[in-house]
């Protein structure tokens, strides 16, 4: 492994690297990422990791492609607000003017962090605020969150996991419902190991038909209208069902993403087995 310490981390910092930095990937970095020479990319990794002293712990940085938008940047546009959860429109400075660029989450790649020692950001300039916005978008949409052990145990013992999992595995129009849920978000009242939790779960469905079907099945399961579906001695549960097309990622600023139901059940294994 390349010798790496405080001096190398300082060099990366002094060159201007942080979350939101943009550059044209070339040479070994382009080869490792599998991008054509000169592809414009943006750094997705948190700034503290980008300039970390510990290369063994943080050997990589995550990047993805940037495409120039044909439209001017508007902070209240669907793209800037994240209506398309796979792409985010951000403002960058190019030639002294503000230009809209689109971050494409589908093109994410990892490259060795040591590549950053050999070049400086040479793409359109992003502000610290833009980098933080990218971070919030990734955190709210793609990052996994760990739930308290007690919350997971209570959820299982009170029977919520098996009941909801059965619905998620059920077929709708020939496919398992969970395969047409684009994302799940949640918020819980405490990260501590306590005796009672308030838990809110949001199911973000591919389209309106799936959302209506899931909503209907959950209401039949609990015998009440969503969202306030159940309360035990250990959990107060709310369930919300939405259509992804009408939802903006900033609506989930106070929620955390968990990518699969495997925090509460065996659904992850079911997905791997093709159920």
Query: Which of 20-34, 143-157, 159-173, 248-262 has the weakest average pLDDT?
Result: 248-262
pLDDT at 100: 96
Of the ranges 1-10, 13-22, 150-159, 263-272, the best mean pLDDT one: 13-22
Confidence of residue 107 (pLDDT cuts 50, 70, 90): confident
Task: Report the DSSP beta bridge partners of residue 23.
Answer: 41
Confidence of residue 248 (pLDDT cuts 50, 70, 90): low
pLDDT at 70: 92
What does pTM read for this prediction?
0.58
Confidence of residue 79 (pLDDT cuts 50, 70, 90): confident
- Sign for the pseudo-dihedral over CA of 214, 216, 217, 223: positive
- Kindly report, residue by residue over 11-29, the tens digit of the pLDDT: 999 999 999 999 999 999 9
Confidence of residue 264 (pLDDT cuts 50, 70, 90): low
Domains of the chain by residue range: 6-141, 149-272
Question: Mapping DSSP to helix (H, G, I), strand (E, B) and coil, where does residue 236 land?
Answer: strand
Q: Is the pLDDT of residue 268 over 60?
A: no
Confidence of residue 252 (pLDDT cuts 50, 70, 90): low
Q: Are strands 60-68 and 197-205 parallel, antiparallel or unpaired?
A: unpaired
- pLDDT average, residue stretch 82-100: 88
What does each C-alpha distance from 235 to 48, 53, 230 come to in angstroms? Answer: 36, 42, 8
Residue 27 exposed, middle or buried by CB count within 10 Å (0-12, 13-18, 19+): exposed
Q: How far is CA 11 from the centre of its chain?
A: 29
Confidence of residue 255 (pLDDT cuts 50, 70, 90): confident
Confidence of residue 271 (pLDDT cuts 50, 70, 90): very low
Q: Are 239 and 155 in contact (CB under 8 A)?
A: no
Q: Is the pLDDT of residue 141 over 70?
A: no
Confidence of residue 269 (pLDDT cuts 50, 70, 90): very low
Angle between helices 160-169 and 149-157 (to 10 degrees): 80
What phi-psi label fits residue 164: left (phi over 0), alpha (psi between -120 and 50 degrees) or beta? alpha
pLDDT at 41: 97
Q: Is the pLDDT of residue 247 over 80?
A: no
pLDDT at 135: 86
Of the ranges 31-45, 77-91, 159-173, 261-275, the best mean pLDDT one: 31-45
Please state, in angstroms and rounded to a whole number, the distance separating the CA atoms of residues 275 and 150.
29
């Amino acid at each position: 492994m390349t010798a790496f310490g405080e001096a190398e981390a300082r060099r990366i910092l002094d060159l201007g690297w942080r979350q939101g930095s943009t550059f044209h990937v070339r040479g070994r970095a382009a080869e490792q990422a599998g991008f054509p020479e000169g592809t414009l990319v943006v750094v997705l990794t948190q700034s503290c990791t980008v300039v970390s002293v510990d290369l063994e712990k943080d050997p990589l940085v995550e990047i993805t492609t940037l495409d120039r938008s044909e439209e001017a940047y508007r902070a209240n546009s669907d793209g800037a607000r994240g209506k398309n959860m796979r792409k985010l429109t951000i403002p960058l400075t190019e030639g002294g003017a503000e230009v809209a660029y689109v971050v494409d989450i589908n093109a994410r790649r990892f490259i060795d962090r040591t590549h950053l020692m050999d070049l400086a950001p040479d793409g359109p300039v992003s502000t610290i605020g833009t980098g933080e916005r990218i971070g919030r978008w990734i955190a709210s949409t793609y990052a996994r969150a760990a739930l308290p052990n007690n919350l997971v145990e209570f959820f299982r013992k009170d029977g919520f996991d098996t009941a909801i999992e059965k619905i998620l595995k059920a077929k709708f129009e020939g496919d398992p419902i969970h395969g047409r849920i684009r994302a799940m978000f949640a918020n819980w009242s405490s990260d501590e190991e306590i005796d009672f939790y308030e838990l809110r779960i949001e199911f973000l469905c591919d389209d309106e038909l799936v959302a209506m079907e899931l909503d209907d099945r959950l209401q039949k399961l609990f015998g009440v209208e969503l969202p306030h579906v159940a309360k035990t001695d250990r959990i107060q549960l709310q369930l919300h069902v939405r259509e992804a097309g009408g939802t903006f990622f900033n609506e989930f600023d106070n929620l955390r993403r968990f990518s699969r139901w495997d925090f509460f059940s065996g659904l992850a294994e079911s997905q791997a087995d093709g159920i």
